Amino acid sequence: MASQILLELQPSNQSQPSPPNTTSCDNAQEAWDLLHRVLPTFIITVCFFGLLGNLLVLSIFLLPLRRRRRRLNVAEIYLANLAASDLVFVLGLPFWAENVWNQFNWPFGGLLCRTVNGVIKANLFISIFLVVAISQDRYRALVYPMASWRWRRRRQAQATCVLIWVAGGLLSTPTFLLRSVKALPDLNISACILLFPHGAWHFARIVELNVLGFLLPLAAIIFFNYHILASLRGREETSRTRCGGPRGSKTTALILMLVAAFLVCWAPYHFFAFLEFLVRLQVLQGCFWEEFTDLGLQLANFFAFINSCLNPVIYVFMGRLFRTKVWEVYQRCTPKSLIPMSSSHQKEIFQMF
């Protein structure tokens, strides 16, 4: 992502001359120097934990398939695809870290410039769309449990995932085609940048970025989870005397957490991306707005990167489905003499939600 994408790599707008009469950017170079030193370390940290978490998710979901040839259910299909998308995304982060460390001097050549940025952008769209699909699947299963069996079919889930991957690839096509390494004499670097053939492309990009990549998915996530919460509250009121209600409250907390995580991770980037669009249109002018937008985009990128680490935690590790899968793998890989005899012990381990 950087100043030109939904998480695509690109240099800042520092190459654009700043008005000589403004003093807002006197310390901007110090801020950029600090960013070049510190941000790569954070990116590599995110990469490490993202690799660890998503590889663990995929291994837990896919390992039982080899042992007993069991097919993934609908929820597992979505979660496995989400982990795969986030895994592919974080594999591109070391290139991003090196790019920032080199002060946006791209050292990997034109082919990797297009490939890395295209894959990053595609998988960011794919990850967001899969989060929407997961919310929609939970909506059907929890709000309409009796009728959901007609809709929650494995083939439908697989087809939905295929369409999401295709959509992500199509939305990243301009990146694959228009990214290139260009020399920027003002900065004395050769940067991997997105060169649009016409100014109208900037408007199309912001619509794609802010509307397709954030506003519509956010509206869908809020809609589905609002109705899930309403349904859970209704059931909790009718069964409180029998069950005590703690499970509903924990599920509510989990749903609120996933919506909050989506907002925290993505809202800052889309806010600064829209500001950058206004700067390009010269609605906002001056050195202050250019530097504020560019630095803000770089920092907001980091929050969006964190999303690939949070997804395994929120959608998988904290859910009963994944804990059940871990228990199944544990039973297969552990000698019978070491497995607890009482089923209540298993209940205690996986009782959180």
pLDDT in tens, 223-272: 998 888 888 787 766 665 455 444 455 666 777 787 888 888 889 999 99
Q: What is the pLDDT of residue 18?
A: 38
27: DSSP letter:
T
Whether 302 maps to a domain, the answer reads yes
Domain that includes residue 107, residue range: 31-328
Q: What is the pLDDT of residue 152?
A: 64
Whether 19 maps to a domain, the answer reads no
Tally of structural domains, the chain: 1
Torsion angle in degrees (nearest 10) through CA of 274, 277, 283, 288:
80
Q: What is the pLDDT of residue 342?
A: 43
Q: What is the pLDDT of residue 184?
A: 87
Structure tokens at 86: 């986030």
Q: What is the pLDDT of residue 242?
A: 54
**Residues lower than pLDDT 50 in the chain:** 1-24, 241, 244-247, 337-353
Q: What is the pLDDT of residue 347?
A: 38
SS3 content of the chain, % helix, strand, coil (to 5): 75, 5, 20
Which residue matches tokens 């009482």? Answer: 342
* Helical axes 216-243 vs 246-280, angle rounded to 10°: 170
* C-alpha distances out from residue 300 to 7, 47, 189, 220, 297, Å: 10, 16, 24, 23, 5
Whether 312 maps to a domain, the answer reads yes
Compute the distance between CA of residue 151 and CA of residue 156 in angstroms, rounded to an integer: 8
Amino acid at residue number 1: M
Whether 131 maps to a domain, the answer reads yes
338: DSSP letter:
G
Structure tokens at 302: 């980091």
Whether 345 maps to a domain, the answer reads no
Whether 15 maps to a domain, the answer reads no
Q: What is the pLDDT of residue 9?
A: 41
Q: What is the CATH number of the domain that holds 265?
A: 1.20.1070.10
Q: What is the pLDDT of residue 82?
A: 92
Whether 9 maps to a domain, the answer reads no
Which residue matches tokens 């982990």? Answer: 83
Whether 21 maps to a domain, the answer reads no
